[in-house]
Amino acid sequence: MQYSTQWPLNEWLTQGIDEIRMAHVIETVLMTGYYRKTFPVNVTRPFHQRRIKVTRMVQEMHTFLESNKDFSRVILFSNQYHWSVIKSMDEHYMYYLDSSGVQREKIKSYALYPDESRYQFYRDALYFIEREF
């Protein structure tokens, strides 16, 4: 309901959801009311409007996922095709939940700028999500 007051739902279903609309959904649905009380999570966008090199960004992503075992942590992100959830990383791969059935991808397959690699990270579409146990 909250989403459809801003944008037509059929547009979301047929064209997907961009980072502006995802930010709206997270802020107005996930971070308020019932969901906030029932599923309390902390959501941050650490690379939002921040100039950073992809190697540093990947390092920060890995550190976030591996640190503080008192929290359940994931990273929600979008590439040029769709949204995915990274559940862990090692030095070569990202392991994620993905609607296309892909469960891992090489980190080197990602870049910050078009045509530098197979996939593109969008700094404004990377969400660090954590929930305390």
Confidence tier at 74 by pLDDT (50, 70, 90): very high
Read off the pTM: 0.86
What is the residue type of 25? Answer: V
Q: Span 81-92, mean pLDDT?
A: 92
Express each pLDDT in 1-14 by its tens digit: 555 566 777 777 77
Check: CB of residue 3 under 8 Å from CB of residue 21. Answer: yes
Which runs of E-coded beta strand occur in the chain?
A: 42-44, 71-78, 83-89, 93-97, 104-106, 110-111, 119-120, 126-132
Q: Residue 121: pLDDT above 80? A: yes
Express each pLDDT in 12-28 by its tens digit: 777 778 888 888 888 88
What was the pLDDT predicted at 68? Answer: 73
Check: CB of residue 24 under 8 Å from CB of residue 52. Answer: no
**Mean pLDDT, all residues of the chain:** 87
Q: Span 34-47, mean pLDDT?
A: 90
Express each pLDDT in 90-103 by its tens digit: 999 999 988 878 78
Residue 110: which of 123, 98, 101 has the closest Cα? 123
